[in-house]
Structure 1
Amino acid sequence: MRSYIPLTLLILLSACGPSEAPRTSERTAEPSPRLKITHFYAGKTEITRGESVLLCYGVENAAEVRLDPPAESLSPGYHRCFTVSPERDTTYRLTALDLFGHSAHADVYVAVKTPAPPAAPKPELALIRMFVAASPEVPAGFPVTLCYSAPEAESVSIDPPVQELKPAQRFCFRAPVQATTTFRLTARAPGGRMETAEVTVRVR
């Protein structure tokens, strides 16, 4: 006697195939934080030889910071500054490195000019600008008029001491002459500098 499997049961059996293994979600590795130099600048782009200039920088996600040409030991930070004193025009390169072997660079140029030569010292002003006699010759016993200019002097004196004198732009006075006489005017300045001038008046 033949047995028959109901059609409905066959349909149900054919629909049930082997079950699939559950799928697992694939995780992608997250990218490392981005290495970045946020700023790198000089306080002045031009200096005179012998001066110093301030360099400032900031980095993100850096493990190490280097400078070329080297100036001092640098460390990562959001804002750090240091000074350099280049002797010639120099381009400074800042290099930042992270833990994954990545690097970032930034450059700053500093021009160095030669100092101007020192100004020539100002010539010292003459203490005695003028010392003259109104006449080079007078009769015996007659006075002669003497004039001088010494505005830059601190003190003025005459020898023979015929009169007390003082610094002046122009000053004249009379001196008696009994015999041929050489009058010596002396002017002194602060610091000890001294100048003299002479006038000879003859007696006829």
Structure 2
Amino acid sequence: MQAWLKAGWALVGLGVAYLAVSLFLRDQGPGPRARPAQKPKAPAAPVQGPVRIVQFYGMPGAVARGERVTICYGVENAQSVRLDPPVEPVQPHWNRCFTAAPEATTTYTLTAEGAGGSRAAASFTIQVMPPAPKILFVELSGKQLRRGEPLTVCYGVEHAVSVRLEPLGMDLKPVAKDCVRVYPPRTLKFRLIARSADGRQDREEFTVTVEP
């Protein structure tokens, strides 16, 4: 009888222990699980500021037709640039220069575009004047004359609207080649002056000696 009681109490003890372990495991929940491998994050794109034109100019600001000017530009945070009117292909650059030969007064505009549709523009104007007047040549029949002898002056000019021979006050033709005859009353220092429509001038000086 005592052996049977001991065996019964042993079974009861095992049941209680099993129940305690089961309750403990339930309270602890499932064990830690392995986390899935995470993909490496792509590096963040660099933050760009707004597009900006740091410089855009032409020099000199006024030229005669046929002369060249230097155009310089520089941009920041730009993906593309455009020059109007076009002179040569342009790309985003911090500091770049090239030359142009405008035929008439021209306004140049630089447009720069950046990320997200940002845009900046700048302009300047080059004044183009007619070519400066130029005396091509002056030829004299002589530099020493006797009183009463004629002096023949041959000359040629270009880009001039008027030609004057001083100090005689003679208006001459503004042509590429012509000759005139004058009678200097005494030794004179002559000035041949060619003028353009805007007042610019070219001049040639020569002295003719008149002997008694």
TM-score by length of 1: 0.46
Report the structure, 1 or 2, having the larger helix content. Answer: 2
